[in-house]
Structure 1
Amino acid sequence: MPNSTVDQLVEECLVGSQAAWNELVRRYAPLVWAIARSHRLSRTDCEDVSQATWMQVVKHLTKLRAPDRFAEWLAVTAKRESLKHLPRVARHVPSGDSTAFDRRDESAPDPEAAAVGRDRDTLMLRALRDLPPRDQALLGLLMCDPPRSYDEISVELGIPRGSIGPFRARSLVRLERRLRELGEDVPG
């Protein structure tokens, strides 16, 4: 299964192969997670979005017309599920003992540094979310922990191993351009 193309995995899933399904989830779970996190959702909310996304895949996999574009389709599905989840998150208001919110963790960075870091991260995630789904998929796979090899990425995205470096470079140029459009100074 690890050497199967996305097309093959989708076809095998359609005939009921659990191994093919497990491989699809293994390959693309980091992409779904990265998209959910780009919407600033908590870990629990990301788990909910991930589950909802995979449920949509199960329900609609037979309607997928271009199995080779599975990553793009999955990215759009994860983005939609994340957006549907946002209003639910906004309704939750913490209650109970408010002293838990008053204590400051001395090992935490100072509030100003934390705010600057959050702003930078938010801007980076926004720029990443604005990229084409294939760029999001590649950059997500390159950033996952543990890192994926170029061979694994080649199989997962269905692109030649030798094309990953140039494709990565073009994706990073598009990300840098988008960051500049959003007003962020990018080191040269």
Structure 2
Amino acid sequence: MSRRYFLTNLLAVCVSAILLWGNLVPAAQAMGGKLPTINQPAPTFTLPTNTGAGKVALSDYAGKWLVLYFYPKDFTSGCTLEARKFQQDLPKYQQHQTEIVGVSADSIDSHAEFCDSEGLKFPLLADTDGQVSKAYGSWMGIYSMRHSFIIDPQGILRATFTDVNPIAHSREVLTELDRLQAAKT
């Protein structure tokens, strides 16, 4: 096979993939479903975790603030950056008496490797069938969408983030957490 033939075919495949992706994105976003309503009880969940603790449920966080963040895939650049930022800011979340929990469709083994690789000290939950992601309007066919939610100590959803920039997201969540906690006092 000639180099020119190979490059032409590679270009055709790339263009086809881009066109296909452009058609799939709106459909995939529609699969995400309806986001849960602010100031209403957060959808409940129970999922396996990488920590060896078996399963983790929303009820485990009763009496605590919770940042529940959904992300597409372990070890990808944006997801790694987002997780690193949450880990970097973990002491600030702890000062706010707030727990962080990540959710994706990856397996608990993948999550364990990702946490070990990145030094993450918060749990990642395996939503392998997407049921919890769907309940939070955060499902894109085979991946969780990059969405985050702040849930108060009574289990009420207080904030939703759908336009997430992995670089600035943790700061954005902390700012909203400050505002919400100040309003509660």
Superposition TM-score tier, normalisation by shorter sequence? under 0.3
Normalised to the residue count of structure 2, the TM-score between the two structures is 0.24
Normalised to the residue count of structure 1, the TM-score between the two structures is 0.24
Q: Greater strand share, 1 or 2?
A: 2
Q: Greater helix share, 1 or 2?
A: 1
